[in-house]
A and B are shown apart, each in its own frame.
Chain A
Amino acid sequence: MDWRIAEERLFQGLMYLSLVIVLGSLFSVFSLVVIKGLPALNFTMLTQVPEGGYYLGGGGGILNAIVGSLYLAAGSIFIATCISIPTAWYLQNNKEHSIITSTIRTMLDIASGIPSLLYGAFVFLIMVAFHARASLLWGMITVAVFLVPLLTRAIDEVMQMVPQKIMEASFSLGATRLQSIFHVVTKQALPGIVTAILVSFGRGIGDAASVLFTAGYSDSIPTSLNDPVATLPLAIFYQLSSPIPQVQERAYASGIILLVIILVVSIGSRALSKRFTKYCIK
């Protein structure tokens, strides 16, 4: 056989192998969690807060963690969006290759490479300086601080994908740079921005390490911003650390709930961005 054909075959085989590894690991995580968790999953888990001795096998559910996770992710994504979109506008408003812009981009890349746990430790030190207690508000701030660099870079990339010709068309109608960024580029990049926000929402809801220090843990649903809050990943972590097999099974059941939430968010983001694409210039 020709050695070039052999080479082609070899690399095709390697490609298929890596594809199988990626899809297989995803599928095995899904199936393991579903197989181990499904027997323990029932309606009370979704609708009740933990009763006394829940972590020793007592009755109740993990509604506190579900609601807490949703509150935390929603609040933090709101704060992060309010900061990220103006930052992305600023980056777009500057000239293409200015030193300030590229420095800011590098710094944002560095910030998105830092493990989320360090953000948690950082905000924890600030909390100590303020004599604050672990609460929903500080959890939101932590997750927002950790999401801002990711979200800003994602939105910035999406805005850079908008063709230069659309900007030029807007300039030719007499719009300033800022006006075309606000009204033309943002509208054109809207599907991408929505996707970026929802992907970050998924990151925020699934992140346990950053809220480990700052959000606390509680068995009841928070009623104000100053209450400590439980999150789903931490609930899974604590239940999995238990020696009782029944409680460990519940950890996998909570994992199913978390997977379903993330799946719904990512499918929803696909659908939403497809819907917004209708209003874009092609």
Chain B
Amino acid sequence: MAVLMVVGNVARVPSSIFDPAYPIPALIANNYGEMMSIPLYDSALMFAALLLLVVVVIFNILSKYVIINLRVAV
């Protein structure tokens, strides 16, 4: 929500750090109004959410792995 206001929201892959970008939560927030009116649109948005969820899960499992390994080392 905070990022949505400053990031630019342009649907294109940014080529430099100064280009506008489009994070997944901003995508969902900007398109929820039409979510139910176009067929399969809600599924597409939920797929974007799924990708986000997968990233979160991967990072959590990685962090768990790091914690377990460190505990063995100590």
A interface residue numbers (CB < 8 A to B): 106, 109-110, 113-115, 117-118, 121, 124-125, 128, 208-209, 212-213, 233, 237, 240
Which residues on B sit within 8 Å (CB–CB) of A213? 32
* Set of chain A residues within 8 Å of B5, measured between Cβ atoms: 237, 240
Instruction: Enumerate 12 A-B pairs (CB-CB under 8 Å) in ascending A order.
Output: A106-B61, A106-B64, A110-B60, A114-B52, A117-B29, A118-B28, A118-B52, A121-B28, A124-B32, A209-B1, A212-B1, A213-B32
| A121 with B60: CB separation less than 8 A | no
Within 8 A of A (CB), among B26-52: 28-29, 32, 35-36, 42, 45-46, 49, 52
Q: Do A212 and B29 touch across chains, with their CB atoms under 8 A apart?
A: yes
Tally of contacts, chain A with chain B, CB under 8 A? 47
Beyond A124-B32, A128-B36, A212-B32, whether A117 also contacts B25 by CB under 8 A is yes
Q: Bound complex: CA of A113 vs CA of B42, how far in Å?
A: 23
Judging by beta carbons under 8 Å apart, are B32 and A115 in contact?
Answer: no
Q: Contact between B46 and A121 (Cβ–Cβ < 8 Å)?
A: yes
Chain A residue, CB-CB nearest to B61 = A106
Contacts of A113 in B (CB 8 A): 56, 59-60
Interface majority SS (helix, strand, loop, mixed), chain A: helix
Taking CB atoms, residues of chain A closer than 8 Å to B53 are 114, 118
Q: Are A118 and B49 in contact (CB under 8 A)?
A: yes
Q: Which 5 A-B pairs have the closest CB atoms?
A: A209-B1, A117-B25, A113-B56, A110-B60, A115-B25
B32 and A114 contacting across the interface, CB-CB below 8 Å: no
| Cβ contact within 8 Å between A110 and B57 | yes
**A106, B56: Cα distance in complex, Å:** 12
Report B30 CB to chain A, min CB distance, Å: 10
**How far, in whole Å, are A92 and B66 apart by their CA atoms in the complex?**
24
* Central interface residue in A117, A124, A209, by most chain B CB within 10 Å: A117
Q: For B59, what are the chain A residues with a Cβ–Cβ distance below 8 Å? A: 113
CB-defined contacts of A117 to chain B, threshold 8 Å: 1, 25, 28-29
| B58 to chain A: closest residue by CB | A110
A14 to B52, CA, bound (A): 33
Determine the chain A residues whose CB is within 8 A of the CB of B56 once the complex forms.
110, 113-114
**Chain B nearest CB, measured from A239 CB (Å):** 12
For the complex formed, measure the closest distance between the CB of B28 and the CB atoms of chain A, giving whole angstroms: 6
The answer for the CA separation of A237 and B1 in the assembled complex, in Å, is 9
- Complexed CA–CA distance, A115 and B35 (Å): 19
The answer to whether B60 and A109 touch across the interface, beta carbons within 8 angstroms, is: yes
CA separation between A110 and B63, bound complex, in Å?
A: 11
**Roughly how many angstroms separate A212 CA and B28 CA in the complex, as a whole number?**
11
Q: How close is B46's CB to chain A, nearest CB, in angstroms? A: 7
Q: A110-B60, A118-B28 are in contact. List 6 more A-B contacts (CB 8 A).
A: A106-B60, A110-B56, A113-B56, A209-B1, A212-B29, A233-B1
Instruction: Give the CA-CA distance A115 to B50 in the complex, in Å.
Output: 12
B-side contacts of A209, CB under 8 Å: 1, 25, 29
Q: What are the residues of chain A within 8 A of B35 when measuring CB–CB?
A: 124
Query: Which B residues are CB-close (under 8 A) to A237?
Result: 1, 5
CA distance A115 to B53 in the complex (A): 9
Contacting pair B46 A115 (CB below 8 A): no
Q: With A and B bound together, what is the CA distance between A125 and B53 in angstroms? A: 17
Q: CA separation between A118 and B64, bound complex, in Å?
A: 23
Chain B positions 7 through 30: 1 when the CB is less than 8 Å from some CB of chain A, otherwise 0: 000000000000000000100110
